[in-house]
Amino acid sequence: MVTEDQKFYDQAGVDLSGISRALLINSQNKTIEQGGSTITQQLARNVYLSHDRTYNRKLSELIYAYQIERKKSKPEIMELYLNAIYFSNGAYGIEAASQYYFSKPTGELTKAELAFLAAIPNNPEYYNPLEHFDATKKRQERLLEQMVANGALEQAEYEKLIKSTIKLDLSTPVDLYPDYVTYVHQELKKLVASSEGLDKSLQSTDVAIRKNAEAELDKKVKELLNSGVTIHTALDTKLQTQSKTAVQSKIGVNDIEGALVVIQHHTHELVSLIGGKDYKKNSFNRAYQSYRQPGSAIKPLLDYAPYLEETDAGINQLVSGASYCSNSYCPKNYSGDSYGMVTLRTAFAQSYNTPAIRLFEKTGVETSFK
C-alpha cells in the first residue's frame, strides 16, 4: 500500500487527486500513460474489465470501484485484490505466487519474502523474478525503505530484511488438461500472428523470413502471457475427464492411438479435446494435428441428415444398396457385396457406401454441403 494506494482506508475507492494528476500528464503527452488507479479500481479492472488504455474503460473502472466500495468492506476488498492480482509466470493471487516461487503457503513466508512478492505486481513483466531477479530485489528494498519513511517499519528491521537472502524454490505446475491447453495456446498464437501481421511471413518459402517471423511471434506471445492476460475457454472439466477415460478404455491396445473432440452443438463451443491416449503437453496432438480423411464419419452430415431434412423420409424408407457406377466413378461397399434394397436405418447402421451415394445424389451437392 505504500506505493499502490496510501489512502486506501481513507478514500471511497477513487483518488480524485490521482486522477486529476493523470489527466494532466496524459493531456500534456497526448497519450494515455497514467491512470491514477486505487486498489479498488485495480480490483475492478482485474476482475470485471480489460486492460485497454481508453477513457471509456477508465470511466467503467470508476463506476465499478464505486459499487465495490458500497458493497464490500475494506478488508474484503483487500482480500479480493490480493487474490486477483497478477504475479507473473501464470500466478494469480498472493497464495498462488507463494506456492509457485517458494513452494510454501503465505503463512510460512518471511517478511523479506512477502516484500519480494509485493514487488512483482507493479510491472509483472519487468519484475519477473525468473528473468529480472535483481530488478525485483531492488524494488523489494525500495518498498521496505518506503515503509520506514511511512513509519510502518523500524530502521533496524529494515536493515535486517534487505540483507535477508531470497532463494526461489519453484514448484512444478501441474497441467490437469494438457490436451486442451495445448490447443488453446496454438489458437492464441494464430490470433497473435494475425493481429501482428505475421501470417504471410510464417508461410514464406524463404527459411530466413519464416524463422524471423516465428521468433517474433514467440516473443509477442511470451510478452502477452507475462502481462497477465486471461484466456477464457469453454472447457468442461467433467466432460474432459470422461473423454479421457473413454479413449483410454476403448482403445487400450498398445499400438493403437486415438483422439476425441466434443463441440457443444447449440453454442459451437469446444468443450472437450483429447489429443491421445496418454497425451503429454506440447507433444503431437492427434485431435488437431493429425490431418486425415473423415471417412464414413462424413455420412451423417453429408448424406443422411440433408436427405431426411429435405424429403421428410422415415428411417425405414428403402434405398438401394446394390452396386453403383456413374461414368468412371464406381465406389463399392466395404465388403464388396451388393445388398439390394435396405432401409435407411440398416444402411446407416452398417455404413454402406452405395446407399449413401444415392441419397447424396437425390439431395444434390449444393444442398448437402450447405
Q: Can you state the angle between helices 39-48 and 55-71, rounded to 10 degrees?
A: 110
In 10 A of CB 292, how many CB atoms?
A: 6
Question: Given 3-state DSSP classes, what are the helix, strand and coil percentages for the chain, each rounded to the nearest 5?
Answer: 50, 5, 40
Q: Residue 320 and residue 356: Cα distance in Å, rounded?
A: 9
Which residues are known to be catalytic? Answer: 4, 296
DSSP 74: H
What is the spatial distance between Cα 52 and Cα 54, in angstroms, rounded to a whole number?
6
Cα–Cα nearest to 3, from 53, 38, 41, 45: 38
- The span from the CA of 282 to the CA of 200, in Å, is 24
What radius of gyration, in Å, describes the C-alpha atoms of the chain?
Answer: 30
Q: Report the distance separating Cα 187 and Cα 181, nearest Å.
A: 10
